[in-house]
Structure 1
Amino acid sequence: MIEPGLIQLIQFIPHPPAKVWAALTDPTLHAKWWAAGDVRPVVGHCFTLDMGQWGQQRCEVLAVEHEKLLSYSFAPGTLNTTITWRLEAEGEGTRLSLEHKGFDLDSPLGKSAFEGMGGGWPRVLTRIEPALTESAPA
């Protein structure tokens, strides 16, 4: 059974987990593929992501397993969702899993965000690999 209000995606990225981890946790790299913000892999760290037309979204790191898992609250007080990234080495690359859950489909805001992010996340994930490739030393 599929959980309501859950977005799950998997993307293979042809870079090792250490590089993909950097894309998720280094503010400079993070800004290249998704949003600017002071993301850091430290449980309890609060940061804000600049989501452009959707404004500044607060986040708080909930769980960290170095190069394996990063989970944080996203927009507490409004959306009240959780984003969890899982990294798994696969050959010379990384299988990156995204789980974005907790959307309240009974609220207009929650339903609209779920629909928008359901369509937006696949495009966002495709930007990770180019961001890593362009930031690689020549």
Structure 2
Amino acid sequence: MTATDTITVDQFVDAPPSRVWRTLTDPELHSRWWVPGDIAATVGHRFHLQMPGWGAVPCEVLEVVPERKLVYTFNETWTLTWRLVAEGHGTRLFFEHSGFDFGRRSERDAFDRMGPGWRDKVLPQLARTAARTGD
């Protein structure tokens, strides 16, 4: 059996779930907090995220529950899961980046780099973008 692990982040966003959802699924807003890509909240939608240093990374939407859950593949082995839960006047965003194969050194290195990136940079930037975006 291959050892795998998951990056998890719990991020409060000072915006309602509808606005966080739009920030996650609107290509123009997506490019403000992470990277450009032709994302859409439609199961089966295939799209690419333009990752610096990696180029166009293929993705496919696996699950959509509007304003509550978005799941998509990120390359051939990883899955990104975004769960939104209303909390007061804002949203609790639970994020998982799963599928790291610790049997491969490059995957373990990616896990070690990406965990702090998600926690310290990407999700806080998403939170700032959603908080500034009007409904």
For the 8 Å contact 2:63–2:70, the answer to whether it is kept is yes
Residues of 1 paired with 2:112 and 2:132: CA distance?
Answer: 31
Residues of 1 paired with 2:67 and 2:35: CA distance?
Answer: 20
Query: Where does residue 9 of structure 1 map in the other structure?
Result: 9
Q: Count residues with an aligned counterpart.
A: 132
Residues of 1 paired with 2:6 and 2:96: CA distance?
Answer: 7
Structure 1 residue runs of 5 or longer lacking an equivalent are none
Query: Where does residue 22 of structure 1 map in the other structure?
Result: 22
Structure 2 residue runs of 5 or longer lacking an equivalent are none
SS at match of 2:43: coil
Query: Where does residue 130 of structure 2 map in the other structure?
Result: 132
CA RMSD between the two structures: 1.4
For the 8 Å contact 2:13–2:131, the answer to whether it is kept is no
Structure number with the higher strand fraction is 2
**Residue 43 (structure 1) shift:** 0.4
What whole-Å deviation, never above 9, does each CA across 1:24-55 have from its counterpart, x for those lacking one? 10000000001100110000000000111122
- Between the two structures, name the one with larger relative contact order (CA 8 Å, sep ≥ 6): 2
Change in CA separation of 1:88 and 1:133 when aligned onto 2, cut-off 3 Å: closer
Q: Which runs of 4+ in 1 moved over 3 A?
A: none
**Residue 102 (structure 1) shift:** 0.6
1:44 corresponds to 2:41: no
**Residue 130 (structure 1) shift:** 2.1
